[in-house]
Structure 1
């Protein structure tokens, strides 16, 4: 799948249409409803993570719509000194370093706690992002939020990522997740940006339920 020309996309991103306003209202209503319904689960997970040692939620700087940076929230799934552990691992393990440089993640990540592995495989760790949706930093459906260093992976197609809000779920999540290489991820983001619609978002959300239950491609 080859991304297409991006000329003119900045104007489209800057001038949201009626469909974007409908999407925003839908995001707010659904996110607030899910927060209320899932409140007991959110509380239980928060307590369990805190009992595991350290804060229950952490925020990592990600790139959002039009390149605006924001704090993407997650339940903490890693040890509290994750940055130091990663640095030491990459310095002594060339295989892990190559995997990190290729995918920006590790399949067998030693930083992840036992509880963290469970909430990652079930995608429960991403539920705090519902608050990012309410705040308007994310959408329920969109490209997976990335760090600034990943923008270079998009090359001439960077604007395709920047023209949409990152999503809690999206085409990447329902198309194989971590089983896909990065080039495929970029292509899926381009496809979403070019074809996004309310009906398409609804279909992705339905597919997300099945993917989360099967835990396919999650680590």
Structure 2
């Protein structure tokens, strides 16, 4: 089985971690990953865009010319949708783009995204990541030691660690999330995933539990 190197805060090797992509997901389904990412992006859309109807565009409501006697077609308003500068006939209204996929599908997609990081060598392990107080300078130093300072990075922690979040929030292209809150979009949006063995253990435990339940359901 492949072994990942575990580093300390100075970038030195302090151990190894054995993991297979299949420990997280039986296979990587690109269609499911695509569906999950599109859903998360759609749910982030504000949906407040709209175009103006003839009632909203600026312009006079005076009749352009008399009804009869000119030889022209009847015309009532300069704001009509058939005229330049007029309103849209079928105007775009405010809309809600959000929708949802099954919870188990989203959980599986998140594990597939992490498994793809393992498969592609885009996952870095650090033995522990903690600060006594928020210190951006120290966080930058750790990322430099690990070689993670030149690409977009997602830091996954074993729980809510405010000092880690505050130390990284002002660094460009770096985001922090508890392992329990990772999703397909957050994982795939970053080039590299930095995670502790403890957090990865949590993900593996949930993955094995989910796979066991799926196996039982299929056999019943």
Shared fold per TM-score greater than 0.5: no
TM-score, normalised by the number of residues in structure 1 = 0.34
TM-score, normalised by the number of residues in structure 2 = 0.34
